[in-house]
Structure 1
Amino acid sequence: MSAIRKWFILFIVALQGFLGPLSSSIYASCIDSIVLRRSLGASSTLINATISLYVFTQGIAPMMWAALSERYGRRLIYLGATSIYVGSTIGCALSQRIGVFVVMRIFQSIGASAAQAVGAGTITDLFLVHERGNAMGLFFLGPLIGPVVGPIAGGYINEYIGWTYIFWTLAGMGGFVLILMLFFLPETSALVLERCKIRRKLQERREKAVNDKRSRQQQLDTKPVVLLASTPYALAYGFMYFVISSLPHQLGYRYQLTSSQIGLSYLANGVGNAVGAVLSGKHADWLLRRKKQQQEEHGQQQQLEPEIRLSAMWMGILLLPIGELIYGWCVQAHVHAAAGLTGLFILGVGVGIVQTPSNTYLVDAYNGYSASVIGASNLLRSTFAGCTPLMAPTMLRSIGNGWSMTIFAVMSIMSGGCIYIVQMFGQRWRTLNAS
């Protein structure tokens, strides 16, 4: 398969992966809208809770999609999930009661979540190990910039044509992705492709192997390596959602910004996320190539340890608390909005840097279970991201933005210990588990 075709397939899958995070918070900047509250017959607190519910569902559903994709292939899962997304998004636009809206949001999250896990399997199918860092960095831009691009678009759509058109726009985007998948997305799973060519006896053996894989997938989220390697990114992603959910109130209350201006403020975090994700992916690949070159110079033929990638995360661990402290205390002290947004940009860079090496390491470390292991990691990430918006109102009322972000900064620094432990003992634990 040509390089152009591989990247085009990744582009289509990344678009599906972008829909989920984009939809999660696209109406965050208009939660306080009187029209939205009256249309659904609900308070702003209850509407805000639907964001957490959506993110919680995004943590659970990919586990199902990952297991199904490893048995029935990637293409079928992408098509089915995207169809669910389009249908439920139309349902959100037509909702006139909060109960219906909540149900539609759950199905929207289920449909949009497929690529969050299955996309890692597609990357494993298409790219060699030394190419995956860059591919993963580009693919996982969706979870990073989607939650911050969404409120920008949602703020303008709500302000000028109404909140229902937010979901009509998303439905149109989902339909476009579905058309691309129908015509241009082939099956990439080597297991499924082989199964179509072999005799029934070999097919039964491979199906048994898949069943064993699915049972092992249920254990992935409890393995120390998976938990430790996922924790720094899960914490960072949760803290980002804390900021995303509270930013409209913080900027609106302290700086009297309109919904469209608040939406534009999310750009600081979004640009930072994109910069961090791309740079760390390239850095992780460079670390792997450098190690391979050093081995060749010394005549060594050892297999490269995936733990090498984790060194690229340390800059993110440094930037996260810096960004959190600058943002938290500048907003608390009512310093010019540009200062707080600078902190938000640094925080975004830190989240992006931590994200890409973490996910790429897990794919390399559990190469045969890439979709499942990313599904397990995604569960941890989405759990944190779903909890923090619920915590935000109480924490901000009790201790303020400055001290809230200080607590998060301390936790971000401590999460570096997880990286150190995996670098020291990750290979040994994986060897013991494989034996």
Structure 2
Amino acid sequence: MEPQEPQEPLSRGSQDASSDQPEGQPPVPSSGETGSSNLASPELGLPEGEAGPEPEALHPVSSGPAYSVFPKPTKRWIIAMAACASFVSPMTANIYFPALNPIAADLGVSVNLINLTLTTYMVFQALAPTVAGDFGDMAGRRPAFIVCFTIYVFANLGLALQNNYAALLVLRMLQSAGSSGTLSMCYAVVADVAVSAERGKYMGFVGAGINIGPTLSPVLGGILAQYLGWRAIFWFCLIYAASWLIPYTLTVPETCRKVVGNGSIPPRGWNMTVIDLVRRRHKPIQRADATDGPPKRALRFPNPLNALKVVFEKQLALLLLYNTLIYLVFILIVATLSTQLAAIYHLTDLQIGLCYLPYGLGCCLAAISQGYILDANYRRTARKIGFTIDYKRGDDLREFPIEKARILPIFPILSTGIAAVICYGWVLHAETSLAGPLVLLFVVGLCITGSFSILNTLIVDLNPEAPATAVAANNLVRCLFGAGGTAFIESMLKALGRGWTYTFWALVLVVFSPALWVLIAKGPRWREERRLRRLQAREKEAVASATEAT
């Protein structure tokens, strides 16, 4: 059951509010003070050792703007559209697989040349979010989504009509650039509208969209290629994207906090929905929480190097490393699933595609359930330290161990997943009944992918000012590692065998697992050091700007 936002917050204790802004609060509409405060039992007049009231029940008097002014139905609509958009990139990467042989035959080229389009697709899948993420953090989510989906629509149109290999190669790169660029924005939208206390649930919905793609798309691609021809795959992608782009352009508001703050600042130009543009022609839009007006923003060319800055941050580098290792384990299982099942059980292409369904079901359940688990553990952590959760304006995470709240639920989940990976390898080695690998694939999808999604949420929590750039950095690292891992996994299987290969990768997660405890212990200090560095950098920029002006 969702926590209810209080209608009339109550004040307890005599603490003064901190002068710092709550999590993710942009400099644009900052007219108030943080709503987070720590309440210990002695301050409430309780006997020593007696637990205080539920943190959710104690809310200090509001003294600043809400974290997001969007009503709950609008917020849900925004998240739903983001979840549908998150389906596109993984779907596009996997729906193409069943059509490799027919495309090679129709274009008169070898399968090896068709496989080259997979390599170039993965390269752009790694690089495109670094540009799109920075663009989305700078210009807004709507411009970034519209540009990416427009590129994607026209790329699919060209792919459906082309008749030569050169066009296929180039257009697949454009298709990758358009679809992959949206991935970082989907997570960023959640950070825009959801406070950290309820962010896990919404991140789970977006993660479910991402995990459905690799599951359903091979089956869908095989059906389309078999009954309608391989060109139908690209027509389907075009229709899906256009069906998403039209309602998004018409109705989904801008959420980027650098552009509209908490939603109270009226957007300009292409940050406005079509409906808002029509309304503004007849009557100017006025919002109750609006400040003096939208700030003037100096647009620049997107800088992909901003994602690299995230990679080299001490705390985030360690987090990205372990998150990438988790991703590598499950992508290696997915990449080798078809070849292993064909070699052991002699299944047809359609049967192999159906074998992805248990894995995908586990991924979807993990994405949704982990969100509720994270939110519950957030409340539990707050209760233990006497921290007051502010659902209206967001929490000041400087005083909250967000690393501990996010990482602790991983340990039982990841331990189960590691055991399932080891069992999966030895079940394939023994060539048992097909039911064995399928059941273990479900557990791997549930636990390994669930652990990956939890750390994705923490990445967004640690970068409230530029969440799209942070997710792009995560995407860059994991795609590069994934491309490298898939390049030699078949050779590793031949050299070590199925059992020891998957056991090796499971043990890699065990060996590097102390990184999670390091993040729990040292993460808050590293996070504060990073905040102070950013504050000093802004002060220097302000002084430099003032000097130039005089």
Matching residue within 339, 362, 366 for 2:459: 362
Aligned CA distance change for structure 1 residues 229 and 259 (closer, same or farther; 3 Å): same
Q: Could you tell me how far 1:298 is from its partner in structure 2?
A: 10
- What are the Cα deviations for residues 29-62 of structure 1, in whole angstroms up to 9, with x where unaligned? 454x3x3331244444443453343233222111
Q: Determine the C-alpha separation between the residues in 2 that align with 1:215 and 1:236.
A: 25
Report matched runs for 1:55-74 at 5 Å. 55-74=122-141
What secondary structure, in the 3-state scheme, does the structure 2 residue paired with 1:25 have? helix
Alpha-carbon separation, structure 2, partners of 1:360 and 1:138: 12
Cα separation, partners in 2 of 1:411 and 1:49, compared to 1, 3 Å:
farther
Please, which of 159, 180, 183 is the counterpart of residue 247 of structure 2?
180
When residues 216 and 257 of structure 1 are mapped into structure 2, their CA distance, relative to the original with a 3 A threshold, is closer
Secondary structure of the structure 2 residue equivalent to 1:368: coil
Which amino acid is 1:409 matched to? A
Offset of residue 432 of structure 1: 1.7
- 1:53-103 per-residue CA deviation (whole Å, 9 max, x = no partner) reads 323322211111111112211111111100111111222333433332222
Could you give the per-residue CA deviations for residues 317-341 of structure 1, whole angstroms, max 9, x where no partner exists?
2133222222222223221111111
The residue aligned with 2:85 is: 16
Q: Is the 8 A contact 1:325 1:343 kept in 2?
A: no
Aligned-pair CA distance for 1:272: 1.1
Aligned to 1:76: 143
> What is the correspondence of 1:98-113 to structure 2 with a 5 Å cutoff?
98-113=165-180
Partner of 1:243: 333
Three-state SS of the structure 1 residue aligned to 2:163 is coil
Counterpart CA distance in 1 for 2:511 and 2:376 is 26
Give the structure 2 partner of residue 392 of structure 1.
Answer: 489
Residue identity over aligned pairs, in percent, reads 26
Per-residue deviation, 1:6:
0.9
User: Of Structure 1 and Structure 2, which has the larger fraction of its residues in helix?
Assistant: 1
Larger mean Cα displacement after TM superposition, 133-142 or 412-421: 412-421
Q: Does the Cα contact within 8 Å between 1:133 and 1:356 map onto a contact in 2? A: no
2: CA distance, partners of 1:90 / 1:211: 27
1:207–1:238 distance in 2 versus 1, CA, 3 Å: same
Q: Relative to 1, partners in 2 of residues 1:227 and 1:298: Cα closer, same or farther, differing over 3 Å? A: closer
**How far off is 1:242 after superposition?**
2.3
Map of 2:544 onto structure 1: none
* Aligned counterpart in structure 2 of residue 256 of structure 1, from 346, 351, 368: 346
- TM-score in terms of structure 2 length: 0.72
Q: 1:212 Cα shift? A: 13
Deviations 1:299-331, CA, capped at 9 Å, x for gaps: 9x9832210211122233213322222222222
Secondary structure of the structure 2 residue equivalent to 1:335: coil
Give the letter for the 2:478 counterpart. Answer: R
Q: Name the amino acid aligned to 2:96.
A: Y
Task: Please give the alpha-carbon distance, in whole angstroms, between the structure 2 residues aligned to 1:181 and 1:419.
Answer: 38
Map of 1:334 onto structure 2: 431
Change (3 A) 1:351 1:41: farther
Corresponding residue number in structure 2 for 1:219? 309
Structure 1 gap segments, 5+ residues each: none
Cα distance in 2 for residues equivalent to 1:18 and 1:38 = 29
Measure how far apart 1:199 and its partner are. 7.8
Counterpart secondary structure, 2:312: coil
- Offset of 1:203 from its aligned partner? 4.0
Q: Kindly state the Cα deviation for residue 160 of structure 1 after the two structures are TM-superposed.
A: 2.7
Q: How does 1:340-355 map to 2 (within 5 A)?
A: 340-355=437-452
Aligned equivalents of 2:192, 2:388: Cα separation in 1: 31
CA distance in 2, matches of 1:38, 1:391: 27
C-alpha distance 323-164 of structure 1, shift in aligned 2 (>3 A):
farther
Quote the residue 2:367 is aligned against.
277
Question: SS state of the match for residue 188, structure 1?
Answer: coil
Match in the other structure for 1:372: 469
Is the aligned partner of 1:408 residue 2:408? no
Query: Relative to 1, partners in 2 of residues 1:213 and 1:334: Cα closer, same or farther, differing over 3 Å?
Result: closer
Q: Quickly say closer, same or farther: Cα 1:36–1:325, change in 2 above 3 A.
A: farther
Q: What one-letter code is carried by the residue in structure 1 that aligns with 2:344?
A: R
Q: Secondary structure at the match of 1:112?
A: helix
The verdict on how the C-alpha distance between 1:171 and 1:400 changes in structure 2, with shifts beyond 3 A counting, is farther
Mapped partners of 2:76, 2:108: distance in 1: 45
SS in 1 for 2:254: coil
Distance of 2:185 and 2:388 partners within structure 1: 38
* Partner Cα separation in structure 2 for residue 298 and residue 369 of structure 1: 25
**Where does residue 414 of structure 2 map in the other structure?**
317
* TM-score (norm: length of structure 1): 0.90
Aligned partner of 2:480 among 354, 369, 383: 383
* Kept in 1: contact 2:417–2:448 (CA 8 A): yes
Change (3 A) 1:45 1:325: farther
State the alpha-carbon separation in 2 of the partners of residues 295 and 338 from structure 1: 46
Aligned equivalents of 1:50, 1:214: Cα separation in 2:
23
2:117/2:172 contact within 8 Å kept: yes
**For 1:151-185, what per-residue CA distance to the aligned partner results, in whole angstroms no more than 9, with x for missing partners?**
12122222333222222211111111111211122
- Give, as a single letter, the amino acid of the residue that structure 2 aligns with 1:244: V
Cα deviation for residue 214 of structure 1 reads: 8.7
- Asked which structure has the greater CA Rg, the reply is 2
Contact 2:152–2:179 (CA<8 Å) still a contact in 1? Answer: yes
- Structure 2 unaligned spans of 5+: 1-69, 269-289, 390-395, 533-550
Q: Tell me the residue number matched to 2:198.
A: 131
Partner of 2:222: 155
Distance in 2 separating the partners of 1:297 and 1:167 = 51
In 2, distance between residues paired with 1:286 and 1:77?
33
Distance of 2:142 and 2:325 partners within structure 1: 32
- Partners of 1:23 and 1:256 in 2: CA distance: 27
